[in-house]
């Protein structure tokens, strides 16, 4: 089993140095490794890849083709909200194994309802997006 800092280092290298929340990312990985919760990390990475791709598409300003945009907007907003909630709940399950102080600090930084908290959350999602890509591109054998 790889150590959390080794995974972060490899994923950061794979991403071309694009990871945005290495400390929070490593914190979640270390708790998951210590408590045999890597299946939750895989789920977070799966949902994060979807969410990051949707956000990237929306930020790009590209338009949908041959679709009633109003109908699509409603669906996509619902899907984004559902995915954010899934990721938040998975993260809470992972950090449940940490100390009360660590849990409180993590929730405050990454799961807060203010804009800064949401931005930190999205940056963490970005890092999990890269984890998923790294695992897909890596090998057929999971690093955990």
- First-to-last alpha carbon distance for the chain, in angstroms, is 5
pLDDT at 140: 46
Q: Are 90 and 47 in contact (CB under 8 A)?
A: yes
Those residues with Cβ within 8 angstroms of residue 31's Cβ, 6 or more apart along the chain or in another chain: 37, 94, 95, 97, 98
Q: For 56-65, write each residue's pLDDT tens digit.
A: 887 887 666 6
| Mean pLDDT, residues 115-126 taken together | 97
Report DSSP state, residue 128: H
Q: For 65-110, write each residue's pLDDT tens digit.
A: 655 666 777 788 899 999 999 999 999 999 999 999 999 999 999 9
Distance of CA 23 to the CA centre of its chain: 13
Q: Structure pTM?
A: 0.90
């Amino acid at each position: 089993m790889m150590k959390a800092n080794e995974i972060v280092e490899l994923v950061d290298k794979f991403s071309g140095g694009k990871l945005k929340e290495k400390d929070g990312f490593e914190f979640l990985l270390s708790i998951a490794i210590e408590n045999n919760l890597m299946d939750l990390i895989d789920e977070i990475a799966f949902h994060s890849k979807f969410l990051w791709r949707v956000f990237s598409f929306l930020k790009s300003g590209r338009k949908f083709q041959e679709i009633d945009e109003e109908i699509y907007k409603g669906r996509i907003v619902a899907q984004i909200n559902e995915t954010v909630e899934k990721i938040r709940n998975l993260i809470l399950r992972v950090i449940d194994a940490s100390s009360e102080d660590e849990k409180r600090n993590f929730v405050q930084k990454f799961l807060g309802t203010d804009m800064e908290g949401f931005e930190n959350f999205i940056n963490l999602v970005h890092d999990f997006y890269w984890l998923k890509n790294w695992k897909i591109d890596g090998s057929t054998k999971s690093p955990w």
